[in-house]
Amino acid sequence: MAQDMALPHSFWGMEMGTGCAQTQFPIHCAPSSKFCLTATASRLEISMPAVVEVEVGGTARIECNFNIPENASYTYIDWFYVDRSNKQVRLYHITDSGVREDETDYKQRLSLGEDKALSISRVTVQDARIFMCQVGAGSYGVGENSTELSVYSELPVNPNLCSWLSLPPQIAKCVSKNGFPPPNITWHKNGEQLHSRENQVTIQSTLTRESSGLYTASSTLYAPVTREDRHSHYHCTVHYWLRGQRHSLDSRRVKVNVFYPAEHLKLKVVSSSALVKEGDNVQLVCETDGNPQPVFSFYKKTMDEWQDLSSLVEPDSGVLNLHDVNKSSSGTYRCQSLDLDDMSQKEEDVDLVVNYIEGVHVKMEPSSKLREGDSVKLSCGAHSPVALKYQWRDEKGEMVVEGHQLLLSNLTFETSKNFSCKVMAPSVPGLEQSKKVSVAVEGKPRIVAISSPLYVRQDDVVNLTCKAIAFPRPTLQWSINGTAHEYMDNQHIASNLTVRVSHDLLQAGAMCRVSNSLGVSEEHIQLVGESTAESQGVIIMAIIVAILVVAVLGAVIYFLHKKGKIPCGRARKQDITKPEARKDKIVVEVKSDKLSEEAGLLQGANGEKRAAADQ
């Protein structure tokens, strides 16, 4: 036996069940016959219709007719409406000099006719109230009168939403088709079963026997809802018998869309970073705890006035987008909400602080022109509401030094380059700015590369090269004629001169001359012919051979010394020069005094002393 259960997708709830009781049937008030009430203040007479009826969405026109004796003119005309606290709120102030419209909730829907009649467009049920006209006529006094604006609607209410005046709002309907025996349906709120209570919970159930003999059960839950019920979940349970056992089937859980006014309003700053910095995109988000969300307006305080920013707000949202904020974006912002049901207003302020760096500057000391060998001090400064950190970087982006000062000493042409001062705020990640400065070192030209000597043959076509560095920009000249190709690289100037080698050029060579306003530098290029080059080559080879011979001879002598073939020392030199017999004779004849004296003299001559045993 098949059984199923269906739960409709559309549910309707409202606070304390007020909607159905008030709008169960079409509301229509038949137009009353119009009549005028006349109020007389002193001698001033003002007449207005007692009641003006208008349909929801239409335009109401309220006339104010007055008579002033002696055709005198009015001093002013004021239009008012009476709010829920019986307070008069002015809408218009009219004088001969012009018309001034006051800041009210009606401002976008009001207009004045040529006869000073008040027109209200797009009328809502909240416009059902009393409107007053007050006329001032100078010495004739002040008079006023009023008209009640009655609003009606001929739109019938959907019978599926509310069926009986006495019932609270319908929460949901549960249907189980084709069951047998007849099923039973119960309702649950947040997991707890609901029971019918007078003026609290009403459960209407129907049971229909189909032609097939099966039953369709239907149950509708009516219950009042409050603000707390916005988080409540409802579901129904179908209880049925199957094969002698009791079973149950739960529906999906549904939430009721409860409408309730806002109690609190919150305005917050939303940014990609914790601290807002210049260049960021910022959102000011306004939210309330009501449902639905009211109409939001945004303002910024400028001096003693509030600037309306509502044109920047996203449609149907409480989000104000501020793109690429800067220092001027800082200030106090206000969000104001308007509940169209009860016309209540709430507002909240928030301060937006945009962190910034401005006025980055670099001071050079001395500020006069720099020459090679000079020193210079670069000082960097900036302004910000937060603490700053400074770094100096070269033109490659590499850090040179930390701190707000950079000292360069013994300047050269090569020092001339661009430096940048990078200013950062450590407490605000991503907040930084840079300032570039160029250090130019002046001086007379200095030739850094030249093609000399250059080995050539007569009648060859060769390239002569000369490269120099200088500032201000120098000029380069050759002492001979030819085809020159000149180019600049930063502060370097280079020239390639294409010439044919002649006899005179071989003899004299060429001169490269570089000059600017601070001086002149010259270099001579020597051209060496083929014969000269060959003779120089022979000389070089002879020198190399001589060096090799000396090296070999020294190696042989060292080798013989190590083998003992060549003795060293004075004693050994003496033995070599004397015959062997003479040596023996000296030993034999040592007893002779004369020989002893000779032997002593011989020892003194040789600088040696012998021991007594040896003698």
Which DSSP string corresponds to 107-159? TTTEEE-TT--EEE-S--GGG-SEEEEEEE-GGG-EEEEEEEEEEE--PPPPT
Query: What pLDDT does residue 333 have?
Result: 94
- If asked whether residues 171 and 145 sit together in one domain, one would say no
Does residue 232 belong to any structural domain of this protein?
yes
Does residue 590 belong to any structural domain of this protein?
no
> What does the alpha-carbon distance between residue 334 and residue 266 come to, in Å, rounded to a whole number?
10
- If asked whether residues 194 and 240 sit together in one domain, one would say yes
Strand partners for 335:
298, 348
Query: What pLDDT does residue 554 have?
Result: 85
pLDDT digits (tens, 9 = 90+) for 223-243: 888 888 888 999 999 998 766
* Cβ atoms of residues 537 and 545 within 8 Å: no
Does residue 307 belong to any structural domain of this protein?
yes
- If asked whether residues 460 and 519 sit together in one domain, one would say yes
Number of domains in the chain: 5
- If asked whether residues 189 and 236 sit together in one domain, one would say yes
Query: What pLDDT does residue 291 have?
Result: 85
- CATH code for position 66: 2.60.40.10
Does residue 578 belong to any structural domain of this protein?
no
Does residue 577 belong to any structural domain of this protein?
no
- Whole-angstrom CA distances from 400 to 389, 407, 408, 416 are 14, 10, 11, 15
Query: What pLDDT does residue 370 have?
Result: 85
Last residue of a domain, one of 503, 529, 555: 529
- If asked whether residues 81 and 163 sit together in one domain, one would say no
User: Which residues of the chain carry a pLDDT beneath 50?
Assistant: 1-42, 153-167, 570-615
Does residue 274 belong to any structural domain of this protein?
yes
Closest-CA residue to 441 (of 462, 472, 420) = 472
Helices (H), 483-569: 503-508, 530-563
Query: What pLDDT does residue 53 have?
Result: 86
Does residue 62 belong to any structural domain of this protein?
yes
Query: What pLDDT does residue 531 have?
Result: 61
* Cβ atoms of residues 168 and 226 within 8 Å: no
Last residue of a domain, one of 439, 454, 482: 439
- If asked whether residues 495 and 513 sit together in one domain, one would say yes
pLDDT digits (tens, 9 = 90+) for 568-587: 554 444 444 444 444 343 33
Does residue 378 belong to any structural domain of this protein?
yes
Last residue of a domain, one of 329, 352, 375: 352
The strands making up 345-352's β-sheet, listed across from edge to edge, are 305-308, 295-302, 331-338, 345-352
Query: What pLDDT does residue 278 have?
Result: 92
The gap between the terminal CA atoms of the chain, to the nearest Å, is 149
Does pTM surpass 0.75?
no
Helix and strand element counts for the chain (H, E): 6, 45
- Is there a cis peptide before residue 453, judged by omega within 30 degrees of 0? yes
In this structure, the number of other CB atoms found within 10 A of the CB of residue 238 comes to: 22
- If asked whether residues 411 and 320 sit together in one domain, one would say no
Q: Which domain holds residue 165?
A: 157-255
Query: What pLDDT does residue 581 have?
Result: 40
* Cβ atoms of residues 116 and 64 within 8 Å: yes
